Amino acid sequence: MNPPAVLVVDDTPASLGVVCDALRHEGVKVLLADSGGAARDVLARTLPDLVLLDVVMPGEDGFAVCASLQADPRWRALPVIFLTAIDAPEQKVRAFAAGAVDYVTKPVHVEELVARVRVQLELRAARRKLEAQNAELEAEVALRLDAEAQLASSLDRAVLVLGRQGELLFATRLAHDLVEKYLPGSSPAALFAGGSYTLGDAVLHARRFTEPGRDDLVMLALEEEHAPPGPSALLALGLTTRQAEVAYWVAQGKTNPEIAVILAASPRTIDKHMERIFERLHVENRASLMLRAGELLRPSR
């Protein structure tokens, strides 16, 4: 784990030499800048965990520098401790209004400042850990919701149930996919009468079933012939149905965001599925996954 880093912004950094030495002794990496512009240059290269900011500096003062950090989404979450020789209540109020988390007056009591810095570093570390845990929890929840949605529409048969006028009452996702594949832009009602539909060498058969004496419900079972292998072929790898779908689209050269759109899932959910797929198949990257999937998706001769 990298040591915590503190950016010290003071027009005379040497005046805080003792403070910097004390922070280094605490295992803190110290970065220095003598102006607001120099501070932003440092921040553009390295993101510290805390900023110690002098208030009184020639040109751009500490309040202006803090405002510029608050205005930039890259640095908005950085905690700032103001350092100043001005011990006026209105200045402290102004500092906190500008976004500071603490306010220390000069001359600095080194032990006190180091203690305040340590508290802020611990808070930031705890906040980052909590954010990471929340992100992981959100991803897990998304996976569970996705699994539930998948379960609700994961019948391995392509089935449509239509009403008397051809209105859609129920359809498995495979049925939706086949209708869009063979009759792009059409509604399932187009298959109301049943029949066969061709696409290249592939053929879709829509077999129509009705209950004798009733015409309010029509069920159609869709079956495909001579079609190239689809996601179900990847179930042989030991993947779940959803993982097989994700792997299939990876093999088609789609990016994670594109797959998220195709499968109506969040990009984060697809990322998590990819992590599980890599782990399950013992592959390290997309190229290796494409190679494994391609072996099963290659049309048989």
What are the pLDDT digits (tens) for 75-99? 888 999 998 887 778 888 888 888 8
Last residue of a domain, one of 225, 256, 281: 225
| CATH value at residue 275 | 1.10.10.10
pLDDT at 289: 93
- 31 located within any domain: yes
- 123 located within any domain: yes
Name the pLDDT band for 152 (thresholds 50, 70, 90): very low
Looking at the fold, whether 203 and 235 belong to one and the same domain comes out as no
CB 271 within 8 A of CB 285: no
**Strands (E) located in 147-300:** 158-163, 168-171, 195-199, 202-209, 217-225
Name the pLDDT band for 155 (thresholds 50, 70, 90): very low
Strands 80-84 and 102-105: parallel
Residue 255 domain boundaries: 231-297
Residue 226 pLDDT greater than 70, yes or no: yes
CB neighbour list of residue 237: distance below 8 Å, 6 or more residues apart: 244, 247, 280, 281, 292, 293, 296
Instruction: Identify the helix (H) or strand (E) that includes residue 92.
Output: helix 89-97
pLDDT at 34: 87
Q: What is the pLDDT of residues 97-132, one digit of tens each?
A: 888 888 888 888 888 888 888 998 888 888 888 888
Residue 145 pLDDT greater than 70, yes or no: no
Looking at the fold, whether 167 and 215 belong to one and the same domain comes out as yes
Residue 285 pLDDT greater than 90, yes or no: yes
- 74 located within any domain: yes
- 180 located within any domain: yes
| CATH value at residue 166 | 3.40.1840
- 153 located within any domain: no
Looking at the fold, whether 192 and 256 belong to one and the same domain comes out as no
Query: pTM (2 decimals)?
Result: 0.46
Looking at the fold, whether 278 and 206 belong to one and the same domain comes out as no
Looking at the fold, whether 116 and 221 belong to one and the same domain comes out as no
Residue 300 pLDDT greater than 70, yes or no: no
Provide mean pLDDT across the span 244-257: 92
- 271 located within any domain: yes
Looking at the fold, whether 111 and 183 belong to one and the same domain comes out as no
Provide mean pLDDT across the span 189-204: 90
Last residue of a domain, one of 225, 243, 269: 225
pLDDT at 149: 61
Residue 147 pLDDT greater than 70, yes or no: no
- 146 located within any domain: no
Looking at the fold, whether 209 and 239 belong to one and the same domain comes out as no
Looking at the fold, whether 24 and 120 belong to one and the same domain comes out as yes
Looking at the fold, whether 71 and 179 belong to one and the same domain comes out as no
Provide mean pLDDT across the span 220-231: 84
User: Could you tell me the two tokens for 140?
Assistant: 């897990």
Number of structural domains (the chain) is 3
- 214 located within any domain: yes
Residue 47 pLDDT greater than 80, yes or no: yes
User: Could you tell me the two tokens for 245?
Assistant: 């779908």
**Cα 18 to Cα 14: distance, rounded to the nearest angstrom:** 8
Q: From residue 240, how far is each of 176, 276, 280 by CA, in Å?
A: 20, 10, 10
Looking at the fold, whether 213 and 260 belong to one and the same domain comes out as no
Looking at the fold, whether 29 and 93 belong to one and the same domain comes out as yes
Provide mean pLDDT across the span 213-236: 85
| CATH value at residue 83 | 3.40.50.2300
Last residue of a domain, one of 225, 242, 264: 225
Rg (CA), the chain: 31
Looking at the fold, whether 36 and 62 belong to one and the same domain comes out as yes
Q: From residue 87, how far is each of 55, 57, 104, 136, 180 by CA, in Å?
A: 11, 16, 9, 44, 71
